[in-house]
Amino acid sequence: MGLALFHRDLGGTGFPPLVILHGMLGSSRNWQTVGRELASDYHVWALDARNHGQSPHDDTMDYADMVDDTMAWLDAQSLEKVTLMGHSMGGKTAMALACRYPERVERLIVVDIAPKAYRWVGRRVEYDAMNALDVARLKTRGEAEQLLEADIRDWGMRKFITTNLDRNPNGSWRWLINLPALTASLSILEQANLAEADCFAGPTQFILGGKSPYVAEEDHVTIKTHFPLARIDTIPESGHNPHIEDRDKFVDLVRSSMVGH
């Protein structure tokens, strides 16, 4: 039985609907702009994963959990078949769901992630810095960014991380994410998301950032093994977030996949 996930209905009437799963430390909020652009082609929904955004918190977090959560959400919305898009952690969840419940996925779109194990050294540094932050004493989000700067040098990443800070009714700050559960689950989420025999034979598109280190050329063979109809597109000047860094090209590629198979 999955958790009851929070969702944003971003509009549209196209069928099958498009369901978007965000990446680690993200939320449905990150996908509002792209989602509304794609609403001319699909009815678009964006979900918050467990322990993220406005979805419930839980002590456990792995890909099986997130597949169960997404399936429970699909059932609650009476959505029998969808186009499923996932970015990073959400992409690994989407791949696992498509392989295990292929009858529920009309088309799969995976954004800048491969079906393999990762070792996120930089992410461990980020989590250490977040856990060391005394959020109860913060006065502003900008102060949090300054305190994180010594350990997280990338300005964009600091901005992204601090979007997960929110004010309590009394004015103090808190993490929206379930930071203890995410920290404890990091090594689990780094693991490969698919079993050797897992396969989704339906239309599939991988959209990669040309400047991102997440998917190497040799990973294309693994992608094709699990997703034999996979079309692999690269946005050359983008990093790990092509839906933000080159939104127009990203939206064009998603639209082209609707007729590209």
* pLDDT at residue 259 tops 80: no
Question: 18 lies in which domain range?
Answer: 7-114+195-257
**Nearest CA among 151, 163, 127 for reference residue 30:** 163
C-alpha Rg value of the chain to the nearest Å: 18
* pLDDT at residue 18 tops 60: yes
| Inside any domain, residue 1 | no
Shared-domain flag, residues 109 and 203: yes
CATH number of the domain that 48 lies in?
3.40.50.1820
Q: What is the pLDDT, as a whole number, of residue 121?
A: 67
Bridge-based pairing of strands 105-111 and 82-87 is: parallel
What's the rounded mean pLDDT across residues 207-213? 96
Dist CA 209 CA 207 (whole Å): 7
Mean pLDDT (the chain, rounded): 95
pLDDT tens for 29-79 read 999 999 999 999 999 999 999 999 999 999 999 999 999 999 999 999 999
pTM: 0.96
Shared-domain flag, residues 45 and 174: no
**Nearest CA among 2, 19, 10 for reference residue 80:** 19
Of 186, 215, 231, which residue sits at a domain end? 186
**Beta-carbon neighbour count of residue 102 at 10 Å?**
14
Percent of the chain with pLDDT over 70: 98
The total of structural domains in the chain comes to 2
Shared-domain flag, residues 73 and 20: yes
Shared-domain flag, residues 92 and 199: yes
